[in-house]
């Protein structure tokens, strides 16, 4: 039975259209049985109109078949048409022109105005209005049917209590069924409205969650992009400073490094201090390079370890950042003078936990995270250069010392060779004289022996 009620229902149809088709199938089944009952009663009591309920029953079956084939609009219009036509003819055939129509049949015809609101839905367009006007037209033009379709026959059966009550029962039962279907549609519509509202709320909440997730993803992407840009900025600037150090032939490259840092960081002044030792026990900081707003500053300045912020930074090996200092701030001595700058960075130059110096930077703007990261890494590069430079200087000094010692040793060797040559000449002279003396002694002895013989 459920399969019969779903004749013509498609999965893709809207719910209201499915509901209208199911209601049409249910109403067709009820009317088919009513037509079959009327066919039996007319056969027994009003044989002249027996073909009318039979034709009505065939029409109902035809509308059901149209629904089965998927021709749902044709099926519903045919169902309405056969109902209207059946009642119009039933009320016209047994009535003579001078007679009035049967009241209970007029009621039956009037009750058909509920059919369009069950068979069709307002959301299907103008179908429901066309069907309503169709029913109304047949009802208002009933007098034309009475004049056009009239047969002389005994209508006592149509006026009998059994038939009249039966018609009213069918009218009220049909009206109840139709009103029930309409109310069911209204309830279903409300349920769908609530469901749609809940779905909209759910979709809205889902969209809001999706929007938040999307915003978080966009924020993560922006953060990652910003981090990547900052890493790229740091890497590029480190490369520029490193290339400067490698390519420079200057004896003192620190002013060039300070000038490059001023340009890269948009700072106003940069100074670089390097730890120097006058003796094995005394250490101090000496300014090796200073650059301030497009000009090199030549300042001879020395600071003891622990003296001022520069010396304290060297002593503690810690970065110092000072921001937004008011002009009325307590004066303190820095490597740049007595006036406190608005923003300052003092960074220790450390490599492998060994401090080699300090860099001091002054700027009108605060040092951002990427700039601090740059300062952290550049401090290692400068410290490494200072270490390498100091090692190279020591190696050069050792080479020069070795060269001096080698020259001194060579001079000493030449002097020793000359002395050895003189000594050898002296020994040869002494040997020659010794030989002469021996010859003289031998001659004297020979002469003495000859005298003794005489």
Q: Domain span at residue 314?
A: 254-398
Bridge partner residues of 354 (DSSP):
351
Contacts with 49 (C-beta within 8 Å, 6 or more apart), sequence order? 42, 90, 93, 94, 153
Contacts with 89 (C-beta within 8 Å, 6 or more apart), sequence order? 52, 145, 149
Q: 128-159: per-residue pLDDT in tens?
A: 888 888 888 877 777 776 666 666 666 777 77
Residue 312, pLDDT above cutoff 80:
yes
As a whole number, mean pLDDT of residues 174-179 equals 77
Asked, for residue 212, whether it belongs to a domain, the answer is no
Closest CA to 76 of 90, 87, 89, 62: 62
Residue 317 gets which letter from DSSP?
A: T
- Give the Cα separation of 277 and 304 in Å (integer): 11
Residue 230, pLDDT above cutoff 50:
yes
Does 278 share its domain with 138?
no
For 352-388, give the DSSP string: TTEEEEEEEEEESS---HHHHHHHHHHHHHHHHHHHH
Asked, for residue 220, whether it belongs to a domain, the answer is no
Asked, for residue 229, whether it belongs to a domain, the answer is no
Does 90 share its domain with 185?
yes
Output the pTM of the full model: 0.49
The pLDDT score that the predictor gives to residue 34 is 85
Q: Which of 156, 172, 189 is the last residue of a domain?
A: 189
Closest CA to 335 of 374, 289, 276, 389: 289
Asked, for residue 271, whether it belongs to a domain, the answer is yes
Asked, for residue 424, whether it belongs to a domain, the answer is no
Residue 374 has a CB neighbour count (10 Å cut-off) of: 23
3-class secondary structure, 304: strand
Residue 331, pLDDT above cutoff 50:
no
Contacts with 332 (C-beta within 8 Å, 6 or more apart), sequence order? 308, 309, 338, 340
Q: Which of 356, 378, 398 is the last residue of a domain?
A: 398
Does 157 share its domain with 265?
no
Residue 341, pLDDT above cutoff 70:
no
Q: 67-105: per-residue pLDDT in tens?
A: 888 888 888 888 888 888 887 887 777 666 566 667 777
Residue 227, pLDDT above cutoff 80:
yes
The pLDDT score that the predictor gives to residue 348 is 92
Spatial contact of 259 and 296, defined as CB atoms under 8 Å apart: yes
The pLDDT score that the predictor gives to residue 429 is 80
Does 169 share its domain with 297?
no
**What is the pLDDT confidence band of residue 330, given thresholds at 50, 70 and 90?**
very low
- Give the Cα separation of 189 and 395 in Å (integer): 96
> What does the angle CA 155 – CA 160 – CA 165 come to, to the nearest 5 degrees?
130
Residue 292 gets which letter from DSSP?
A: E
Does 280 share its domain with 168?
no
- Give the Cα separation of 82 and 24 in Å (integer): 13
The pLDDT score that the predictor gives to residue 282 is 74
Q: Helices 72-92 and 127-140, interaxial angle, to 10°?
A: 10
Asked, for residue 448, whether it belongs to a domain, the answer is no
- Percentage of the chain beyond pLDDT 70 is 87
The pLDDT score that the predictor gives to residue 146 is 66
Q: Which of 398, 421, 441 is the last residue of a domain?
A: 398
Asked, for residue 226, whether it belongs to a domain, the answer is no
User: CATH code at 306?
Assistant: 3.30.450.40
Does 274 share its domain with 180?
no
The count of structural domains within the chain is: 2
Does 170 share its domain with 30?
yes
Closest CA to 181 of 119, 268, 229, 96: 119
End-to-end CA distance of the chain: 187
Asked, for residue 383, whether it belongs to a domain, the answer is yes
Spatial contact of 358 and 348, defined as CB atoms under 8 Å apart: yes
């Amino acid at each position: 039975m459920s399969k019969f009620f779903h004749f013509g229902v498609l999965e893709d149809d809207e719910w209201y259209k499915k509901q209208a088709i199911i209601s049409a199938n249910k109403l067709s089944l009820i009317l088919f049985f009513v037509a079959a009952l009327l066919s039996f009663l007319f056969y027994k009591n009003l044989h002249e109109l027996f073909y009318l309920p039979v034709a009505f029953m065939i029409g109902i079956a035809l509308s059901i078949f149209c629904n089965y084939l998927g021709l749902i609009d044709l099926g519903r219009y045919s169902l309405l048409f056969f109902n209207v036509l059946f009642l119009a003819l039933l009320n016209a055939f047994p009535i003579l022109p001078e007679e009035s129509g049967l009241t209970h049949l007029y009621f039956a015809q009037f009750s058909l105005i509920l059919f369009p609101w069950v068979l069709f839905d307002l959301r299907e367009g103008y179908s429901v209005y066309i069907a309503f006007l169709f029913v109304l037209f047949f009802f208002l033009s009933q007098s034309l049917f009475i004049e056009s379709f009239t047969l002389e026959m005994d209508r006592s059966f149509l006026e009998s209590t059994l038939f009249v009550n039966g018609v009213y029962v069918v009218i009220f039962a049909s009206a109840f069924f139709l009103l029930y279907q309409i109310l069911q549609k209204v309830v279903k519509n409300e349920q769908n409205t609530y469901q749609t509202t809940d779905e909209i709320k759910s979709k809205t909440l889902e969209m809001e969650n999706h929007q938040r997730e999307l915003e978080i993803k966009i924020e993560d992407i922006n953060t990652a992009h910003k981090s990547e840009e900052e890493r790229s900025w740091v890497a590029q600037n480190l490369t520029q400073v490193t290339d400067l150090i490698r390519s420079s032939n200057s004896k003192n490259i620190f002013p060039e490094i300070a000038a490059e840092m001023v340009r890269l960081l948009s700072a106003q002044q940069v100074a670089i201090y390097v730890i120097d030792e006058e003796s094995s026990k005394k250490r101090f900081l000496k300014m090796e390079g200073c650059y301030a707003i497009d000009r090199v500053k030549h300042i001879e300045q020395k600071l003891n370890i622990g003296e001022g912020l520069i010396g304290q930074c060297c002593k503690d090996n810690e970065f110092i950042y000072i921001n937004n200092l008011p002009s009325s701030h307590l004066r303190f001595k820095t490597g740049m003078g007595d006036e406190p700058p608005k923003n300052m960075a003092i960074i220790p130059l450390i490599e492998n936990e060994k401090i080699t110096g300090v860099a001091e930077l002054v700027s009108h703007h605060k040092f951002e995270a990427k700039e601090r990261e740059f300062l952290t890494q550049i401090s290692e590069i400068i410290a490494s250069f200072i270490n390498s430079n100091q090692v190279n200087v020591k190696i050069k000094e050792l080479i020069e010392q070795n060269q001096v010692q080698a020259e001194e040793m060579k001079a000493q060797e030449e002097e020793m060779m000359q002395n050895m040559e003189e000594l050898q000449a002296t020994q040869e002279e002494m040997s020659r004289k010794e030989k002469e003396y021996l010859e003289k002694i031998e001659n004297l002895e020979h002469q003495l022996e000859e005298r003794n013989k005489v």
